[in-house]
Amino acid sequence: MEQAMVSAATGAMSSVLAKLAELLQEKNKLAKGVREDIELLRVELIIMNDQLYVMAHIEELDALDKGWRDRVRELAYDLEDCIDLSVARFHRAGGDASKDRFFGVKKLARKLKKIILSLQTAHEVQELKACVFEKCYRQKGYKLDGLIGSRFDASRNKVDLRMCALWEETKNLVGLNGPMDEVIRLLMPAEGEVPSQQIRTLSIVGCAGLGKTTLANQVYQKIQGHFECKAFVSVSQNPNIKDILMKICSQVGATTSMADDELLLVNKLRERLQYKRYIVVVDDIWHSDPWKIIGQALVRTSPGSIIIMTTRLKDVAESCCSSHGGRVYDMRPLKDSDSRRLFLKRIFDSEDGCPHELERASEDILKKRDGIPLAIILISSFLAVDVPQSLDYWNKVKESISSPLPGNKSVETIQSVLSLSYFNLPQHLRTCLLYLSAFPEDYIIESDCLIGKWIAEGFVNAEPGESLYEAGLRYFNDLVNRSLIQPWHQLIDVVLGCRVHDVILNFLVSKSVGENFLTLSDPSGLPTSLHSKVRRLSLQNNYQENVVSWIKSIKPYVRSVACFVDCKELFPLTEFQVVRVLDLQRCVPLTNEYLANIEVLLQLRYLNIKGTSVNELPAGIGQVQNLETLDIRFTQVEELPSTIVLLEKLARLIVSPNVKFPAEGFSKMKGLEQLKCFSIHRQPLSFLIELGQLTNLRTLEADCDDVDYEGSGWGIFTSSLQALCSHKLLDVNISMADSPPIPMDSSFPALQSLRTFVISHISNLPIWMGLLVNLELLELRTNRFTQEDLRVLGGMPALETLTLYLVGTDAGPFTIRGHEFQCLKSFRVGQLYQILFMPGAMPNLKRLEVGLAFTTNSYSDLGIQHLASLTRVDVDIHAWCRHRGAVEDLEAKTRSLLGAHPNRPTLIFNTDFLLEK
């Protein structure tokens, strides 16, 4: 059966229809009456499903419509649970779903019919259904016709480069040059001035979406090199003070334990920071109480140290600063010129590219955004992705977004654009976006984990020729392109994670809770929903005692659990009868005993126990036949049970390097698409042999620490690697810490089918590297690299991202010629003595990061002006103090050349001057 969709609009209705259709295919095993009953059920549900889709495009429903919609969606969930539980009981009773199903199906059909007919015959429901037919068509004008785009577009398999450039601009210097310089002037001593012997404290205050965190981060990145210790932490509305203190300790190098309480952590921080110059950024403070504890840890006997805070509230800013004699810096909206630059960059990939006929409309739209960067990003992304570039469409958008109401002006401005963007999303994207409300504020979300959860929930439908993961990745990239999620840890068009701006998150939480899509805890520890049937549960705060019974009462209906706190009330897990997703990462109370009898969770598709106290997986894990994703990183598990090989649907398996696999049967796991983080040297030889038989494997990440390159295990692994490349293997990551470089001789296979290749340390560039015609991303560290090697890489036709770590003291000089690296968009290299870009070199390069070991022979012209598509340049210089003047000349000349560049690329120029003995 094709993967059925579950959505915020229709609940599980589409999934139920698919399962009923599957029952109807049993032509020879259904009695006539049973078949007719199922057909009647299905016809009625199809009508309801169509009505739900119509209602999904209406922004405001009246009470009757909303009540009918909510009851029908809950009905769909109940129906699917009924089907799934009936099938599960049939399995446990020893039945076979593929044989002799007549009596089971007949009983199930009677039960389904009873549920549906009880609602159909209810007078209230009949009236509401009639009302829906009338209301839906009358209210059709609420949406903007023609702006909804749900058609599959192959070009959205990757992140739009303009989107990455836009976030880079926002993270760096659009409109922030002046404020950044001013903040640094307030905090740092001027040249020749004696450094202050006091701690300098500054609070950046401003409305939502104005760029406070961005400014603080820019200042932090610019001056952190002047300090011995540094840390950047977010507090947010519902802070976990112990967690915040742990993060500061981790970043400044203080040793901690999970058993440490707040007082002990404060003392450890004070001891670590005593008499050291430090810089600490405390982001997004909502109340002064957390600062009373954090401030105690940031000792005053650290002369010359700096503390930066950000907050939306003026009284909080003043309160925090008063204890340290600090200052308050008020953020201001963007200037009109910077607003226009940000707006046009996203839509037309140019700062002056607006067609003449759209000039007036663009000015009117920008006036309603009030210089608030987040609002400008959202509306420009909406216009770039969803709206044709014509005056009629732009005027419709202009009329549909209101000016902010009195009150919280910035929030009203952003909410207006968010509502427009949200209701014009295709249904599958709207559902996936709502699911992000399950994550806490400021949480960094791994893209792979998120996509795995979307798939497990049934939110993803693949196009012909696509895997479900590829479809989920397309969804993820589309949300990035629309600026609804912020890319995090990105390599040009490969985004490894994301964050959700707190204003957007609040919008999503409101929508999710209002439609009973998801229930989460509020700051008091109470649930945000009063619905008796909770379908998705996110635990983000410590629960009160009176909520324990509530959790027990909702367990039979919960399909998804995301736990971000230590919550023993979740156990036993077996009470979650219909659960699909269990995300229990870092839930320390989770131990072996709570995974006992996990085989009863027959609907479980996603299990994440990363960072828990589990040290052994139960043998019953092999009976969870629907399991698709299993993540056991950073647990104490050292060996997988032999039954793991029975998981034929498992597509994503993520382990730690200390985990040993079963000696036999691994080749049975034909559904495996991603295998990550396993250590080669710990595995049985038979496992390494069977590894090559996983014909659907697309991604392989292996650790080769302590591997004997002369031994049989390494030879077997490389043979299996070659076999996998003849099937579907596209992405390979081979990492190591301290092992010798991998010999790239004839024993290492030519991996010609790869799309991405990351290898930590090789002895030299293999001769077959130039044959990788499909390779898009290459990252390697090598002992030996020559100009000829560079030419080999320069001829690779699909290469878009290249990172080179060159080991040794004689790297360079290198020259990039005009016909080389035609598709490259990101180039990162260091430590070089010299590099020169010739005219026509790297015509599509957007991002350049280069590290130079400056000598007296270094030249001052890198040829950067010849890189026609540049948007950002990072130059890191290591030089002796006696070369300070020459380095300053190089920086001045580089800035001058880039200032004349048509794209006006952002330049980050960092210098580390070394003292000579």
Q: Is the pLDDT of residue 149 over 70?
A: no
Share of the chain above pLDDT 90, in %: 28
CB 433 within 8 A of CB 479: yes
Top pLDDT among 600 and 345 is at 600
Q: Are strands 494-499 and 519-520 parallel, antiparallel or unpaired?
A: unpaired
Distance between CA atoms of residues 187 and 223, nearest Å = 10
pLDDT band at 404 (very low <50, low <70, confident <90, very high): very low
- Please tell me the predicted confidence (pLDDT) of residue 369: 66
Q: From CA 899, how far away is CA 905, in angstroms rounded?
A: 8
The residue with greater pLDDT, 119 or 616, is: 616
pLDDT one-digit tens code per residue, 254-312: 888 877 888 899 888 988 888 888 999 998 888 888 888 888 888 777 788 889 999 88
What is residue 633's predicted lDDT score, i.e. its pLDDT?
94
| Residue 173 clears pLDDT 50, i.e. is over it | no
Q: Poorest-confidence range of 45-49, 559-563, 589-593?
A: 45-49
Q: Is the pLDDT of residue 891 over 50?
A: yes
Of 837, 788, 786, 838, nearest to 812 (Cα)?
Answer: 786
Reported as a single tens digit per residue, the pLDDT across 368-397 is 666 778 888 888 888 887 778 888 878 877
CATH of domain 183-330: 3.40.50.300
Q: List pLDDT tens digits, range 451-499.
A: 999 999 999 999 988 999 999 999 998 898 787 888 887 665 578 889 8
Angle at 729 between CA 723 and CA 731, to 5 degrees: 130
Q: Look up tokens 């560049």; give the residue.
A: 901
- Alpha-carbon dihedral sign for residues 505, 511, 517, 523: positive
What's the confidence (pLDDT) of residue 441?
84
- Give the separation between CA 905 and CA 642, rounded to whole angstroms: 55
Nearest alpha carbon to residue 493 among 269, 826, 240? 826
Residue scoring higher pLDDT (15 or 830): 15
472 vs 219: which has the higher pLDDT: 472
Q: Which residues contact 746 (CB under 8 A, 6 or more apart)?
A: none
pLDDT class for 650, splitting at 50, 70, 90?
Answer: very high
pLDDT digits (tens, 9 = 90+) for 749-796: 888 889 999 998 888 888 888 889 999 999 998 888 888 999 999 999
Which superfamily is assigned to 518-650 in CATH? Answer: Ribonuclease Inhibitor (3.80.10.10)
Q: How far apart are the C-alpha atoms of 2 and 448, rounded to whole Å?
A: 22
pLDDT band (50, 70, 90) for residue 857: low
pLDDT of residue 761: 86
DSSP, collapsed to helix, strand or coil, labels residue 3 as: coil
Highest-confidence range of 148-157, 438-447, 745-754, 900-909, by mean pLDDT?
A: 438-447
Q: What is the pLDDT of residue 1?
A: 35
pLDDT of residue 170: 47
- Between 218 and 558, the more confident residue is 558
Residue 444 and residue 226: Cα distance in Å, rounded?
A: 28
Contacts of 310 (CB under 8 A, 6+ apart): 203, 204, 205, 212, 213, 215, 216, 281, 282, 283, 284, 285
Q: What share of the chain is helix, strand, coil (3-state, %, to 5)?
A: 45, 15, 40
What is the rounded average pLDDT for all residues in the chain?
80
Tell whether the torsion through CA atoms of 783, 784, 787 and 790 is positive or negative.
Answer: negative
Instruction: Give the mean pLDDT of 399-423.
Output: 65
Q: Which of 116-125, 571-580, 652-661 has the lowest mean pLDDT?
A: 116-125
More confident residue, 675 or 299: 675
Q: Which of 10-19, 346-355, 683-692, 801-810 shows the highest mean pLDDT?
A: 683-692
pTM, whole model, 2 decimals? 0.78
Say what the pLDDT of residue 194 is: 59
Range 168-186 average pLDDT? 66
What percent of the chain stands above pLDDT 70? 81
**Better-predicted residue by pLDDT, 560 or 4:** 560
Consecutive H or E run containing 803: strand 801-806
Lowest mean pLDDT among 166-170, 175-179, 294-298, 557-561: 166-170
Q: What is the pLDDT of residue 109?
A: 57
- The helix/strand/coil state of 638 is coil
Please tell me the predicted confidence (pLDDT) of residue 120. Answer: 41
How many angstroms separate the CA atoms of 531 and 881, rounded? 68
In angstroms, how far is the first alpha carbon of the chain from the final one?
A: 73
- Give which of 199, 198, 253 is closest to 229, Cα–Cα: 253
Strand 445-446 vs strand 494-499: parallel, antiparallel, or unpaired?
antiparallel
Q: Is the confidence at residue 678, as pLDDT, over 80?
A: yes
What pLDDT, on a 0 to 100 scale, did the predictor assign at position 215?
Answer: 86
Q: How confident is the model at residue 66 (pLDDT cuts 50, 70, 90)?
A: confident
Residue 731: the pLDDT is 94
Question: Per-domain residue ranges for the chain?
Answer: 13-142, 154-168+335-512, 183-330, 518-650
Q: Which of 51-60, 66-75, 487-496, 547-556 has the lowest mean pLDDT?
A: 487-496
- pLDDT computed for residue 741 by the predictor: 87
For the four alpha carbons of 772, 773, 775 and 780, in that order, the dihedral sign comes to: positive
pLDDT (tens digit per residue) in 571-595: 899 999 999 999 998 788 899 999 9
Which carries the bigger pLDDT value, residue 554 or residue 192?
A: 554
**Rounded-to-integer distance, Cα 505 and Cα 486, Å:** 12
| Averaged pLDDT, 634-643 | 95
For residue 192, how many other CB atoms are within 10 A of its CB?
5
Residue 124 has pLDDT above 50, yes or no: no
Q: According to the model, what pLDDT value does residue 40 have?
A: 74
Omega of the bond prior to 237 within 30 degrees of 0, cis? no
